[in-house]
Structure 1
Amino acid sequence: MKMDMITNVNEYEAIAKEKLPKMVYDYYASGAEDQWTLKENQNAFSRILFRPRILVDVSKIDLTATVLGFKISMPIMIAPTAMQKMAHPEGELATARAASAAGTIMTLSSWATSSVEEVASTGPDIRFFQLYVFKDRNVAAQLVRRAERAGFKAIALTVDTPILGRREADIKNRFALPSHLVLKNFEGLDLRKLDKTSDSNVASYVAGPFDQSFNWKDIQWLQTITSLPILLKGVLTAEDTRIAVQAGVAGIIVSNHGARQLDYVPATIMALEEVVKAAQGRIPVFLDGGIRRDW
C-alpha cells in the first residue's frame, strides 16, 4: 500500500509491519503476557455504540477544549510514546510539529530519542513531559528541571510501572535500542553508578532501577520539587482516584500503559466511567485509549 492511499489510521499498522525491522515493529505493536488487555483495548470500543440524533443544526461545529487552562483545537492529545526515531529519522520532532499543526498538546516520553530541548526548538507550543521515578530520585529531579527549563507545562507521572511488564515479544527478540540512537533526555545528567561507556548502558540503567517503593506519600515529594501541575498516568479505579484527589494532583490519565504492563486489566474505556464518577468534577480526567502504544 502506498502512503498516499491511506484512508484510515489502522492502515499505518500494516505499512509499519511491512517496513520496520521485526524487533522494532514488535516493540511498538505488542503488549504484556497473553495480550488479552491489548485486544480488549480495541474490542471494548467496538461495543460502545452511537445513539444518533437527527435534525440538529451542525453547520457550525466547535471542537475546542481547555486542558489545564490551555485551549486546544479538539479534545484529543498525543500520548507519550518512546523511541520514535526507531520508526523515522525525525522521530519526536515530527510528532511535535504535527501536534502544533493540529493545534493540540504533545506529551514527550522521558524515553524519547529526541530531547526536551530539541522538541522545544520546533516552536513555542504547549507540551507536557512524562516522568518515571527511579531509585536515584536525583535523576527524576534533574529530568523535571530540564523539562521546566525547556518550557514544558505539566508533568505526566507514570504510576503503573514499579517494574516493567513481561513483554514476551521483546524477550524473544532480545530487544535493545538500536546502536545509532540515544535516550536523549538522559544525556548530560548525573547518573550515579553508571558506566557511561556506551549508550546501551544508559538504556539498561533507566530500565532497571525504577523506585518500587514509590507510593502516595511520595507525590508530596514531587510537588515540592516542581511548581508544574502533576497528572497521574495509570489510574484505573475509583479507589485510587479518590486518593489522587486528596493528594492534590492536577488531573488523572486513565491508562493501562497501552496494555504493556499488567495483563487482564480492563480496557481504559471501560474504566473511564468509574474514575470520572469518583473524581466528581474536582479534577480533570483524561483517557489514554490504549489502542496505539505507550512505551
Structure 2
Amino acid sequence: MGKALEISDLKRMARRRVPKLFFDYADSGAYSESTYRANESDFAKIKLRQRVMVDMTNRSLTTTMIGQPVSMPVALSPTGLTGMQHADGEMLAAQAAEEFGVPFALSTMSICSIEDVASATKKPFWFQLYVMKDRDFIANLIERARAANCSALILTADLQILGQRHKDLRNSLSAPPKLTPKHLFQMAMRPRWCWDMLHTQRRTFRNIHGHAKNVSDLSSLGAWTAEQFDPQLSWKDVEWVKKLWGGKLIIKGILDPEDARMAAETGADAIIVSNHGGRQLDSAHSSIAMLPRIVDAVGDKVEIHMDGGIRSGGDVLKAVALGAKGTYIGRPFLYGLGAGGKQGVTTALEIIRKELDITMALCGKRRITEIDRDIIAESPF
C-alpha cells in the first residue's frame, strides 16, 4: 500500500487482485457509461483560486454530517457486493472507517449482514435501505438496523428498476459466482482472493438470505431479489419508512431540484445528490453539475450531501465549496479494499485526507467549515 499515491494507483492494484467479474461490477456504469465518465470529468472543469501569503497553520478538516462529528466531510458509500471485492469486505471497511473517524454506510445488498458489521465494530454505523415489495421484510430490516444501533438510515430513491449494466450481463454476475469455466479461470488467476474467500462463510446476500420469505437457498434468493425492487415506490413510502425508523433519515438519489424540494418536505435530515454512480440513467447530468442547482433550491431547508465521481481530496473540496455538507466515496474505497483489505481502505482515506488538506491550504483556508464558493475561480455549472 505504501506505493499508492493516488486513488488510481489503488484501482490498478485492485484490477490485478480481484476477479474480473467483481472488479467490473465496481467499475461499471449503465449503457454507454457516459454519466459514469461525466461524474469524474466534470470535476476537472471546476477551477480553484490559488491564494498566497496567508496563514496556513493549524488546519482542521473536522466537521459534522447530520450532527455527527467526522474527521473530514467524507463517508463510505453503501455499495452492493462489497464482500466480493475482498473476503468480509464490509466488516473490514467499517473497521477502517471507524478508526479513521468517518461514517460507514452498509448496503441492503451487502455480503456481510447488519449483524456481521455490528459484531466487528464498536461505534454506530449507517444502514442503506432499498424499499422492496415485501413490506414485512423491510420492516424487519429496519428493526434489525435499530437493534444493531445504526445511527442513520439512508433510503435510496433511484433504484425502482435496475439500470442495464453491460459488463455485469456479459460477466453473468452473481453472488456467489456461478462456477462456469470462464469464472473458474478468472478466480484461478487471483489465488490470494480465492484463499481469503475459502476462509469465510460470507459469500451471499446475508441481509436477505435466511430472513426473507420463501428464500431458503441460492436459487430462490436470486429469483426473490430480481422481482423485489418496487417500481411503484412513492413519497408516501418515505413517510412510512420515516415513521417506522424514527431516527436520522437521509434520502439518496436526488438529481433534480423538483425532487429535492419533495425530499425536503418529507422532513429528511439530509439528501444525497447522486445518480447512483452513473449506474442507472445514462446521459443524466453528473452529480457535481447538479449540486449547486439543488443547493440553491433547498439548501436552506435540508442538509445536502453528494456522491459520484470523487477521486481525490480536491474533488471533496470542490463539492464542499459548491454547498455539500458531506461527501461519499464508493469506488475509491472499493479499489482500496480490493487492493489490500482493511489497510487498503485506510490508504484510500489517507490519500483523500492528505489531498483535501493540502488543496484547502493552497486555497488560503485553514478550516473546512469555512469553505464556500469564494474559493471557486471558475465553474461551468
Normalised by the length of structure 2, the TM-score is 0.73
Q: Is residue 117 of structure 2 the alignment partner of residue 95 of structure 1?
A: no
Tell me if the contact between 1:257 and 1:293 (Cα under 8 Å) persists in the aligned partners. no
Partners of 1:184 and 1:43 lie apart in 2 by: 35
Counterpart secondary structure, 2:228? coil
1:225 corresponds to 2:244: yes
Q: How many residues align?
A: 290
Q: Relative to 1, partners in 2 of residues 1:195 and 1:101: Cα closer, same or farther, differing over 3 Å?
A: closer
More helix by share: 2
For 1:81 and 1:58, locate their aligned partners in 2 and report how far apart those are by CA, in whole Å.
36
1:119 to 104, 117, 142: 117
How far residue 238 of structure 1 moved from its aligned partner, in angstroms, is 0.9
Structure 1 residue 235 corresponds to structure 2 residue 248: no
Report the counterpart of residue 59 of structure 1 in structure 2.
57
Counterpart position of 1:10: 8
Describe the SS at the equivalent of 2:74: coil
- Matched residue, 2:103: 105
Correspondence list, 1:142-221, <5 A: 142-178=140-176, 181-189=203-211, 191-192=212-213, 194-196=214-216, 198-221=217-240
* Residue pair 2:127, 2:150 contacting (<8 A) in 1 also: yes
Q: TM-score, normalised to structure 1's length?
A: 0.93
What's the secondary structure of 2:47's corresponding residue? coil
- Which one is further off, 155-164 or 285-294? 285-294
| Contact kept? 1:129, 1:154, Cα under 8 Å | yes
Shift of 1:154: 1.0
Contact 1:255 1:268 in 2 (8 A): yes
1:64, distance to aligned residue in structure 2 (A): 0.8
Q: Distance between the aligned counterparts of 2:37 and 2:288, measured in 1?
A: 13
Aligned counterparts of 1:107 and 1:154: Cα–Cα separation in 2: 9
C-alpha RMSD of matched pairs (Å)? 1.7
Q: Which residue of 2 aligns with 1:50?
A: 48
Alpha-carbon distance in 1 for matches of 2:147, 2:284? 37
- 4+ residue runs of structure 1 moved beyond 6 angstroms? none
Q: Is the Cα contact below 8 Å between 2:110 and 2:206 reproduced in 1? A: yes
Task: Specify the SS of the correspondent of 1:12.
Answer: helix
Q: 1:40 is paired with a residue of what secondary structure?
A: helix
Contact 2:257 2:297 (C-alpha < 8 Å) held by counterparts:
yes
> How much has 1:47 moved relative to structure 2?
0.8
Distance 1:63 1:195 in 2: 45
Structure 2 unaligned residues grouped into runs of 5+: 178-200, 311-329, 335-381
Secondary structure at the counterpart of residue 71 of structure 1: strand
Question: What does the per-residue CA deviation read over 1:22-52, in whole Å, with 9 as the maximum and x for residues that have no partner?
Answer: 2111111110001000110110011111111
Distance 2:140 2:98 in 1: 26
On the 8 A contact 2:62/2:73 being kept in 1, the answer is yes
* CA positional deviation for 1:293: 4.1
Larger mean CA deviation between 212-221 and 38-47 belongs to 212-221
